[in-house]
Amino acid sequence: MASLRVFGVAALLIAGQLPAGERLSMPPAVPGNDALFYRIQQLEAETRMLRAELDQATARQVPPAAAGGPRFAPVSSLAAEKTPEYVTREEVKDLAWKKGDFKIVPYGILWGTAAYETSRTYLGNYTLWAISPEDEGEDAFHVGARSTRLGIDVSGPELPWFCGAKSGGKVELDFQGSFAVENKPTVMLRHGYWEVQNDDYRLLVGQTWDVISPLVPGTIMYSVYWCAGNIGYRRPQIRYERYFDVSDAWQIQWQSSLNTDAASDLTTGVLADGDHAGWPIIEMRVGSIVGRTRPVSFGLSGHVGESIYDFPFADDAARPTWSLCADVKAPITERLGFQGEFFTGTNLKTFLGGINQGVDIGGTYEAIRSTGGWFEFWYDWTPRWHSHAGYSLDDPRDGDILLPVGRTFNQVYWGNITCDVTKKFQLGFEVSQWKTRFVDRQAADATRFEFAGKYGF
């Protein structure tokens, strides 16, 4: 009987009913049950054969990728960071590009805007401040698509050297780089970093948002009221974060980073070309999240460092840069909430503070001090309809600015309404009122009406 069992298995292998390399389990025969035992063997062989056919069919449905390339499958994702997204990010779990232990999730936002201004503002497609009527007092209409962005999120394997933390990264681009004419924009790197993180800590190396002032107003405009009270930008950094769970409803966060000074990229002018200092800009934030149903978050943050300038009378002149900031975000009811930030500091141009002025080149060549902030209320009319309304202010110290056409005051009121047409398609309309004052120019007032449409994928 044993020889019959061996012959049966061999026949199945020759007929191709068992995949090559498969081993059929051979339990010992039981006297008097040879027919039953043989039937069990047949059923097991048929099961293995069906599994092999299923694997082959699956392989035919997903063609092999080119050598070294990922295998593609459709995904759905929306970027949601410090950028003014009035949509909820849809996490992708099942479908992505895959390469070994890495999962690559592409995403993007097709972003179009149309805006009318009663008086011209700088830069036009989005606003940083209003331009004095002595220079440009006429109205303007803008249509733009340069805010469109593309990116990939990368998740990799757990790393034993980092206590089993998960690895990953991000690359994100938009088209707000320099341009010769409006319809020929260039690519600008927004994010590009590698990270490892778990429930206790996060280590990041690359370019992403500043640690200080982490919130953004719920505006539909690309610039999120930079230079008008909202400070903080993106820069290369080495970043470490630590999370402490005091209880189920209370977490304390500690964040710090070593950053590259961006003075050589955002200079006051040709008379004060910037350069990197001999030590990094240090940023730090201590924050807390309290509550479970409607968690309230708040934090204190700041930075310290210096920038190097080549003034007409001195090369490599160092000027300090520092800030002290506070932030709070508090849902009041299920529909209503409040958030805001405060800052004060010196030489904040590269953080988009001081109305984009860091040092005065009108005679003092000293760092410019500035104080400001913003606040807003949001309200969800329905699950699809949402509104934000707020105020923002950046107020440099007047005595620090002798620069011709220097800006001494910049404020904006705004209100908007947005609609989630679908989870991936959003429309919004916003009205903002700007007022900017200057050292030797007439004050500027401008009202901006902006419509935006975003389609995420």
Torsion angle of alpha carbons 416, 420, 424, 429, nearest 10°? -30
The token duo for 295 is: 């968690």
Give the pLDDT of residue 93.
52
Owner of token pair 């606003």: 127
Q: Which region among 31-45, 349-363, 368-382 has the lowest average model confidence (pLDDT)?
A: 31-45
pLDDT band at 261 (very low <50, low <70, confident <90, very high): confident
Q: Please state, in angstroms and rounded to a whole number, the distance separating the CA atoms of residues 233 and 210.
A: 6
Q: Please state, in angstroms and rounded to a whole number, the distance separating the CA atoms of residues 157 and 168.
A: 8
Residue spans per domain, the chain = 2-61, 97-456
Task: Give whichever of 19-33, 116-130, 152-166 has the largest mean pLDDT.
Answer: 116-130
What is the reported pTM? Answer: 0.78
pLDDT tens digits for 352-361?
A: 999 999 998 8
Q: 224 versus 45: which is more confidently predicted?
A: 224
Give the pLDDT of residue 7.
38
Q: Are 364 and 400 in contact (CB under 8 A)?
A: yes
First-to-last alpha carbon distance for the chain, in angstroms, is 63
**Mean per-residue pLDDT over the chain, rounded:** 82
CATH topology of domain 97-456: Porin (2.40.160)
Give the pLDDT of residue 283.
98
% of the chain at pLDDT higher than 70 = 76
Residue 50 DSSP SS3: helix
